Amino acid sequence: MICQLIGATKVYPMGDLTVVALRGIDVGVESGEFTAFAGPSGSGKSTALNLIGCLDRPTEGRVMVDGRDVATLTDGALGELRAKRIGFIFQSFNLIPVLTAAENVDLALRLAGVTENRAARVEKSLVDVGLKDLLHRRPAQLSGGQQQRVAIARALVKNPAIIIADEPTANLDSSNGEAILDLMREMNERDGVTFLFSTHDPMVMGRARRVVRLKDGAIVGEERRA
């Protein structure tokens, strides 16, 4: 298993209230999966992915990545794990507006500490997502779909083991959304990168090979398909 949540609970304060986002869930992910964590808003899907992506730590329980308990890692080591092994794609694209598409992708490599061969890798990444001619455009000059492609290129360029995508199609229209999902599936099948989505979009759920359903912080069901 490439990553695993064991009895993971997450509680955080919100003003005067305490929110229980996850209630001791157990879930394992194998390498190469194309899996969606699905559920309504507040179900804990994003929280679960945050834990797996090492963006957050559980209040109780364990998070295992590459067979290691992330609780044993320092913040520095955690950062490094993230930088080298995990890629992120966000709902709002979150590209650096003052950098071009190529520079945005390049940034990911530089932050991961890669010094050699960057230009070639960046170009290949952007070509892979079909943006060959738009390398030097800034996000403001790209459409929503194009921006998300850049984000995918950014996430993939460093050859991560896992890509975590938080509602990646939420800000795209349906045709763009489908195109994006197909692209990601292609990457998954070609390179064996594990994709984990959080979503409430049925289209996304439809294209995933495994769907883990959550509600109110607990897993309520699971489906697998081909």
Partner 1 sequence: MSLLLSLAMRNLGRNRRRTVLTALTVTLGTALLTLALSMLNGILGATLEKAAGMAGHVRVVDVDYARREQLMPLAENLPDVAAVLAAVQGQPHVLAAYPHIAMGVTGAREDQEIGERFALLHGAPEAYYRDVLHLDQFLASGAMPTADDEALVGRAFAEEIEAKVGDSLIVFGQTQDGSPAPARLKIAALVDLGSTTQNRQIWVAMSKAQWMADLDGGATEVLIQTDDFERAVDVAAGLRDLPALATYDVHAWDERSPYDQIGGLMTAIQSIAASIIVFITGLGVLNTMFMSVLERTAEIGVMRAFGLRRWQTVLLFFFEAFVIAALGGAVGIALGATGATIFGRVGIHLGEGASKMPATIPINETIYPHLTPDILVTGFMLGLAMAVVGGFLPALRASRIQPIDAMRQHR
| Residues 168-197 close enough to bind partner 1 by CB under 8 A | none
Q: How many residues bind partner 1 (CB under 8 A)?
A: 28
**How far, in Å, CA of 194 to CA of 67, rounded?**
15
Residues listed for the chain: 226
Give residue for tokens 């190529």.
Answer: 102
Which residue in the set 59, 94, 159, 188 belongs to the binding site for partner 1 (CB under 8 A)?
94
Two tokens, residue 16: 């005067």
Considering the complex, state which of residue 15 and residue 226 has its C-beta at the smaller distance from partner 1.
15
Cα dihedral across residues 17, 91, 181, 192: positive or negative = negative
Rg of the chain over all Cα atoms, to the nearest angstrom: 17
Site for partner 1 in 1-20 (CB under 8 A): none
221, 71 Cβ separation under 8 angstroms:
no
Tell me how many degrees the CA angle 171-184-125 measures, rounded to the nearest 5: 100
Site for partner 1 in 115-144 (CB under 8 A): none
The window from 106-114, 124-132, 183-191, 200-208 that contacts partner 1 (CB under 8 A) reads: 106-114
113 binds partner 1 (CB under 8 A): yes
Q: Are 23 and 217 contacting, i.e. CB atoms less than 8 angstroms apart?
A: yes
Interaction between residue 99 and partner 1 (CB under 8 A):
yes
Query: Is residue 96 at the binding interface for partner 1, with CB under 8 A as the rule?
Result: yes
Residue 43 makes contact with partner 1 by CB under 8 A: no
Task: State the minimum distance, in angstroms, from the CB of residue 189 to partner 1.
Answer: 25
Could you say which DSSP state residue 127 is in? H
**Which spans of this chain sit near partner 1 (rule: CB under 8 A)?**
46, 50, 53, 55-56, 76, 79-80, 82-84, 88, 90-92, 94, 96-99, 107-108, 110-113, 154, 166
